Amino acid sequence: MIRPPFALARRFVAGETLPEAIEAVRGLNGRGLSASLDILGENVSDPAAAAAAREDYVRLLDEIARSGVDANISIKLTMLGLDRGEGPCEENLRAVLAAARERGTFVRIDMEGSRYTAATLALFHRTFPEFPDSGVVIQSYLYRSRADVAELNRSGARVRLVKGAYKEPPSIAWPRREDVNRSFDELAEALIGGGRYPAIATHDDARIEHARAAAERLGVPRTAYELQMLYGIRRARQETLAREGHPVRIYVPYGRDWFPYFYRRLRERKENVFFVLRNLFRS
Ligand code: FDA
């Protein structure tokens, strides 16, 4: 396949290299926002590629510590070899978690497509007691998420709540947007009321308002939970929320393998396509 030029993705992807990503985080920090850095890339089947991804995460942790930026990391278990089984993946995951612990950095395990949900949660529950400065992601479109949130709240784990970005069948996920939203509101309330420093990750004002109202009703201060958005999306809103006293964290993806992430953002919302096209014709 012909590789499209990176300029197309610049709005949503901080750069193709680590120094570019660190510069982008510095910019966010200057605007009162913290970050979670994500190295782009997905499934690897070869053990050497999983080991290389593990080393990339450790290099990223080193660079966060060296540069002093306000950032943690988000990781994908399929990059650490989950397709080869939980065992080999766990070894890589533990190495990343140990490196993060040494440097005092929080690690978030992203949630991928539904083939990986059970394994991701199993690995998280297995490693969490030893590495409590880690957290996981729950997708409100999955029917199983209510039970997963209850279990994670019982464990005292930090959860990022999202709607979910993958195409899933109606046998396991709500097909209608209204149901995904309703589920999101219920789970946000359960996390804010009974979880540990949850992250409400959405660009949807109605969801943010619902979470804020729930927190107020439950007497939970704004500083006891985080709002999260993606790099390049609703930038003015990110700053307004931070000025209103919310901790706001921006998910900052970077790396040469940016196309699948970029494509998901375009598929999600036609305005994102128009944005890219408008800038393409301007430049
Ligand atoms: P949705 O796309 O339904 O949009 C709802 C409303 O938000 C729109 O109607 C509009 O008002 C507003 N909006 C959205 N985009 C906008 C734009 N570009 N400009 C202006 N307004 C806009 N998914 C996953 O499966 N696993 C994961 O680990 C993660 N991780 C993750 C981290 C973070 C920090 C975020 C924010 C998101 C994720 N996601 C994710 C992605 C998530 O599942 C979801 O696909 C996107 O966040 C899009 O859903 P929204 O909640 O923003 O609402």
Is 257 within 8 Å of 76 (Cβ atoms)?
no
pLDDT digits 0-9 by tens, 175-219: 999 999 999 999 999 999 999 999 999 999 999 999 999 999 999
With a cut of 70, say whether residue 47 has pLDDT above it: yes
Predicted TM-score (pTM) of this structure = 0.95
pLDDT digits 0-9 by tens, 213-253: 999 999 999 999 999 999 999 999 999 999 999 999 999 99
Q: What is d(CA 201, CA 171) in angstroms, rounded to the nearest whole number? A: 25
Q: How far is the CA of 91 from the centre of ligand 1 (A)?
A: 31
Q: What is d(CA 10, CA 129) in angstroms, rounded to the nearest whole number? A: 38
So what's the pLDDT on residue 283?
41
CB distance 137 to ligand 1 below 6 Å: yes
Atom of ligand 1 nearest to the CA of 163: 43
How does residue 77 score in pLDDT terms, banded at 50, 70 and 90? very high
Atom of ligand 1 nearest to the CA of 251: 34
Which of 73, 77, 110, 163 to mutate for ligand 1's pocket (most ligand atoms within 8 Å of CB)? 163
DSSP strands (E only) in the chain: 34-39, 71-75, 107-109, 134-139, 158-162, 199-201, 226-230, 248-254
Mean pLDDT of 5-34: 94
Place of tokens 């570019």: 20
So what's the pLDDT on residue 280?
58
How does residue 34 score in pLDDT terms, banded at 50, 70 and 90? very high
Q: Give phi and psi for 116, each to the nearest 5.
A: -105, -5
Atom of ligand 1 nearest to the CA of 204: 7
With a cut of 70, say whether residue 281 has pLDDT above it: no
Report the b/e string of 255-272 with b at 16+ CB within 10 A.
Answer: beebbebbeebbeeeeeb
- More reliable by pLDDT, 263 or 162: 162
Which of 78, 184, 202 to mutate for ligand 1's pocket (most ligand atoms within 8 Å of CB)? 202
So what's the pLDDT on residue 253?
96
Q: Give phi and psi for 67, each to the nearest 5.
A: -80, -20
Which amino acids are annotated catalytic? 110, 160
So what's the pLDDT on residue 282?
54
With a cut of 70, say whether residue 165 has pLDDT above it: yes
How does residue 267 score in pLDDT terms, banded at 50, 70 and 90? confident
Q: What is d(CA 25, CA 39) in angstroms, rounded to the nearest whole number? A: 14
- Length of the chain equals 283
From the DSSP assignment, how many helices (H) and strands (E) are in the chain? Answer: 10, 8
Is 36 within 8 Å of 275 (Cβ atoms)?
no
CB distance 200 to ligand 1 below 6 Å: no
So what's the pLDDT on residue 1?
59
